[in-house]
């Protein structure tokens, strides 16, 4: 596994750590449980990290020294790829011949490295985009920065050279084919999963008690990295709209913002708290630093609704995790969220990013307990369709296809 720009051991929700970190680690665990040894290569971000770390039997993380340990942003990393490739290749040279059978790269930076290892080791390359520059640039949030042309060229090269591409959804598969010219026969759809032992339903009262949330609170939750792409400002503006149209909600409405600044959000780290004050929401909004998966599960379970108004999501693990906890989701009708949320069943999909539309979608879930309970039950059922066990089985099937294709062209 190649995960160059962010380690699967990092806490999701801050910096560059997010759903991809969860994806790489959970998939690796499932593969290891099936007897497939996994070695994950990621860039070292501290001199105190060991060169190798065994996460659990069958999974080793290599911390590769490539550039300064600290101070590099994601857009600085392409200049450090040569050092990363050198150390990755060295591991194979120091091992027995044929040590690696297949490379699975994640995100375009890793894909660039993957194309080199594919040629050097003579093994198949499977790549998962997670996000794509052409899609992001078509759906930029206000104040966000367009992805560079170098990334687009890199992604096009990966699409051309990878033996198989894994898309999270049918929509992502369509984008790979239409925007990048991918061969449809080499693109497989494999949905990410959710750990349903961590994200569990039927415990709202328990979760609220542990977090100090009042029993009668109408709690709207945003969980994720604080950056324009994720649109947390839409949640605050929707809350302000709710209070404007229904002042009686003031005593009950609570908004939880769980996560840390990331990406272009690092340029104005106080922007969201400043907006809260500007909107007169300081008595309503609670900002929570990045939390563990177990604590995040409590926040999901405590919420009346989870709001995911992102401008783009390749899948949207937050939406599935929330539904697994029995919490309906109000989300933007973009990318993978249209798959992650069953519109009108397990949640509500909203066109665009008008805060008034999100307020309109949220209000029934906050004031109608029977509606929320009915949608909660259906949310759990919908989330049960997504499991890491199924994700692993389907990914292994893609690996087998990649082997056959690779051998046929030798």
Q: Is 21 annotated as a binding residue?
A: yes
Q: Is 123 annotated as a binding residue?
A: no
According to the annotation, is 327 in a ligand binding site? yes
Is 383 labelled a binding residue? Answer: no
Is 291 known to sit in a ligand binding site?
yes
Check residue 24 and give its pLDDT: 95
Where along the chain do the CATH 3.40.50.2000 domains lie? Answer: 19-193+388-408, 204-383
Q: Which CATH class is domain 19-193+388-408?
A: alpha beta
16 annotated ligand binder: yes
Instruction: Identify the pLDDT of residue 145.
Output: 86
For residue 15, say whether it is annotated as part of any ligand binding site: no
For residue 346, what pLDDT is reported? Answer: 97
106 belongs to an annotated ligand binding site: no
Say if residue 1 carries a ligand binding annotation. no
Task: Return the CATH class of domain 204-383.
Answer: alpha beta
Annotated ligand binding at 134? The verdict is no
Flag whether 138 is marked binding. Answer: no
* Residues 270/273/275/276 CA torsion (nearest 10 deg): 180
pLDDT of 82: 79
- Scanning 94-148, the segments in alpha helix (DSSP H) are 107-121, 133-138
52-58, long-range: CB within 8 Å, 24+ apart, which pairs?
Answer: 53/9, 55/9, 55/25, 55/28, 56/29, 56/32, 57/32, 58/31, 58/32, 58/33
Is 65 annotated to bind a ligand? Reply is: no
User: Helix, strand, or coil here: 379?
Assistant: helix
- Binding residue per annotation — 17? yes
Q: What was the pLDDT predicted at 92?
A: 86
Determine how many CB atoms are found less than 10 A away from the CB of residue 352. 11
Taking only the tens of pLDDT, the chain with its 410 residues reads 999 877 787 765 555 556 788 899 999 999 999 999 999 999 887 788 888 999 999 999 999 886 555 655 656 666 678 788 988 998 888 888 889 999 999 999 999 999 999 999 999 999 999 999 999 999 888 778 899 999 999 999 999 999 999 999 999 999 999 999 999 999 999 999 999 999 999 999 999 999 999 999 999 999 998 989 899 999 999 999 999 999 999 999 999 999 987 655 566 778 999 999 999 999 999 999 989 899 999 999 999 999 999 999 988 899 999 999 999 999 999 999 999 999 999 999 999 999 999 999 999 999 999 999 999 999 999 999 999 999 999 999 999 999 999 998 87
| Residue 43 assigned to a binding site | no
Q: What are phi and psi of 13, to 5 degrees?
A: 110, -5
- Whether the CA torsion 208, 218, 308, 319 is positive or negative: it is positive
**CB neighbourhood size of 58 (10 A):** 17
Q: What is the pLDDT of residue 14?
A: 56
Q: Which of 293, 231, 232 is nearest to 257 (CA)?
A: 232
**271 is known to lie in a ligand binding site:** no
Closest CA to 200 of 376, 384, 383, 325: 325
- The verdict on whether residue 234 carries a ligand-binding annotation is no
Global confidence as pTM: 0.89
The answer to whether 108 and 154 have CB atoms below 8 angstroms apart is yes
Exposure string for 164-184, b = 16+ CB within 10 A, e = fewer: bbbbbbebbbebbbebbebee
The answer to the question of whether 381 is labelled as a binding residue is no
């Amino acid at each position: 596994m190649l995960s160059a720009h962010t380690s699967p051991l990092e806490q999701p929700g801050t910096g560059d750590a997010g759903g991809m970190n969860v994806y790489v680690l959970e998939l690796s665990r499932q593969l290891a449980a099936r007897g497939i040894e996994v070695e994950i290569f990621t860039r070292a971000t501290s001199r105190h990290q060991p060169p190798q770390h065994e996460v659990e039997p069958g999974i080793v993380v290599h911390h590769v020294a490539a550039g300064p340990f600290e101070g590099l942003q994601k857009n600085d990393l392409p200049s450090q790829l040569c050092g990363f490739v050198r150390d990755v290749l060295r591991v194979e040279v120091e091992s027995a011949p044929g040590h690696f059978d297949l490379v699975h790269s994640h995100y375009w930076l890793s894909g660039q490295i993957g194309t080199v290892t594919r040629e050097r080791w003579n093994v198949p390359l499977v790549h998962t985009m997670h996000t794509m520059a052409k899609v992001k640039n078509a759906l930029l949030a206000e104040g966000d920065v367009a992805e560079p042309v170098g990334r687009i060229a890199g992604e096009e090269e990966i699409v051309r050279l990878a033996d198989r591409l894994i898309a999270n959804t049918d929509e992502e598969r369509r984008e790979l084919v239409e925007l990048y010219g991918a061969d449809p026969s080499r693109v497989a759809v494999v949905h990410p999963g959710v750990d349903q032992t961590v994200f569990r339903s039927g415990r709202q009262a328990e979760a609220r008690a542990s977090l100090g949330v009042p029993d009668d609170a109408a709690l709207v939750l945003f969980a994720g990295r604080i950056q324009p792409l994720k649109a947390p400002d839409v949640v605050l503006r929707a809350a302000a709209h709710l209070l404007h149209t229904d002042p009686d909600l003031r005593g009950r409405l609570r908004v939880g913002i769980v996560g840390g600044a990331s990406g272009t959000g690092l340029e104005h780290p106080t922007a969201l708290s400043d907006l809260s004050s500007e909107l007169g929401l300081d008595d309503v909004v609670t900002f929570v630093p990045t939390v563990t998966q177990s604590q995040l599960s409590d926040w999901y379970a405590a919420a009346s609704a989870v709001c995911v108004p992102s401008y783009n999501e390749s899948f949207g693990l937050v939406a599935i995790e929330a539904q697994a906890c029995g919490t309906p989701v109000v989300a933007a009708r973009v990318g993978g969220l249209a798959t992650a949320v069953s519109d009108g069943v397990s949640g509500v999909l909203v066109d665009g990013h008008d805060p008034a539309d999100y307020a309109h979608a949220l209000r029934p879930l906050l004031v109608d307990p029977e509606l929320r309970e009915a949608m909660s039950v259906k949310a759990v059922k919908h989330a049960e369709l997504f499991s890491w066990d199924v994700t692993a089985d389907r990914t292994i099937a893609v690996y087998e296809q990649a082997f056959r294709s690779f051998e046929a062209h030798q």
